């Protein structure tokens, strides 16, 4: 599946052929991403990226997630998706990361709008949530811009290279989405 958001921005459902480009992007952005993401030490070879992609595809086949590669101006620029999707309670959690050189172009906000529509209209979700590290102001600005409700701080939510990090939790309910 591919979703064209604009002439510059396309979301492509993740597949094995993304492995090489995605690993190179991760490697180039390693220091930048380490500020907020705990998995960088586990992705040290292209094979590690390939294994991640295989897991993402398997989880999608089980209807537990969907992952897209962000393609901006013709190049792989990041990842966005629902991970996880709780089908029982109709909750989807959006996660994302974007290369440092693509920041500030509204890419994640635009991609989230598409995922929100898919979540409510296609997946039948009742709640979409976006967590972000408490001090990651750029990431927190996305759900705030999209009208999500700030629910509070989840203490010590993530172990980030030896230190626990709090997360801010935001949510949007179907009835709020439909009202807009």
Structure pTM?
0.93
- Nearest Cα neighbor of 142 from 109, 104, 165 is 109
- 6, 110 contact by CB (below 8 A): yes
Q: Does residue 167 lie in a domain region? A: no
Q: Does the structure show a pLDDT above 70 at 180?
A: no
DSSP label at residue 48: H
Q: What is the CATH number of the domain that holds 56?
A: 3.40.630.30
Q: Does residue 174 lie in a domain region? A: no
Q: Does residue 138 lie in a domain region? A: no
How many of the other CB atoms lie within 10 Å of CB of 106?
12
Q: Does residue 136 lie in a domain region? A: no
Which residues 6+ apart lie within 8 Å of 44 measured at CB? none
Q: Does residue 85 lie in a domain region? A: yes
Q: Does residue 171 lie in a domain region? A: no
In terms of residue numbers, what domain contains 125? 2-130
Q: Does residue 159 lie in a domain region? A: no
Q: What percent of the chain has pLDDT over 70?
A: 99
- Nearest Cα neighbor of 97 from 111, 86, 113 is 111
Q: Does residue 24 lie in a domain region? A: yes
Number of domain units in the chain: 1
Q: What is the pLDDT of residues 29-70, one digit of tens each?
A: 999 999 999 999 999 999 999 999 999 999 888 888 999 999
Say what the pLDDT of residue 59 is: 86
Q: Does the structure show a pLDDT above 90 at 179?
A: no
How far, CA to CA in Å, does 94 sit from each of 23, 29, 74, 81? 21, 21, 23, 6
Q: Residue 110, CB half-sphere, CA atoms under 13 Å: how many?
A: 18
Which segments of 102-173 are extended strands (E)? 127-133, 149-160, 163-173
Q: What is the pLDDT of residues 4-20, one digit of tens each?
A: 999 999 999 999 999 99
Q: Does the structure show a pLDDT above 70 at 21?
A: yes
């Amino acid at each position: 599946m591919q979703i064209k958001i604009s002439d510059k921005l396309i979301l492509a459902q993740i597949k094995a052929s993304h492995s090489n480009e995605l690993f190179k992007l991760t490697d180039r952005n390693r220091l930048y991403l380490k500020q907020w993401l705990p998995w960088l030490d586990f992705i040290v070879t292209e094979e590690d990226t390939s294994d991640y992609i295989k897991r993402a595809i398997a989880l999608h086949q089980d209807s537990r997630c969907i992952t897209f590669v962000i393609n901006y101006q013709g190049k792989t620029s990041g990842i966005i998706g629902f991970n996880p999707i709780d089908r029982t309670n109709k909750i989807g959690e959006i996660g994302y990361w974007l290369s440092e050189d693509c920041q500030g172009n509204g890419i994640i906000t635009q991609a989230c709008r598409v995922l929100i529509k898919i979540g409510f209209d296609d997946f039948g979700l009742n709640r979409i949530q976006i967590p972000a590290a408490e001090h990651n102001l750029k990431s927190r600005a996305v759900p705030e811009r999209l009208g999500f409700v700030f629910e509070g701080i989840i203490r010590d939510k993530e172990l980030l290279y030896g230190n626990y990090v709090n997360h801010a939790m935001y949510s949007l309910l179907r009835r709020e989405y439909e009202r807009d």
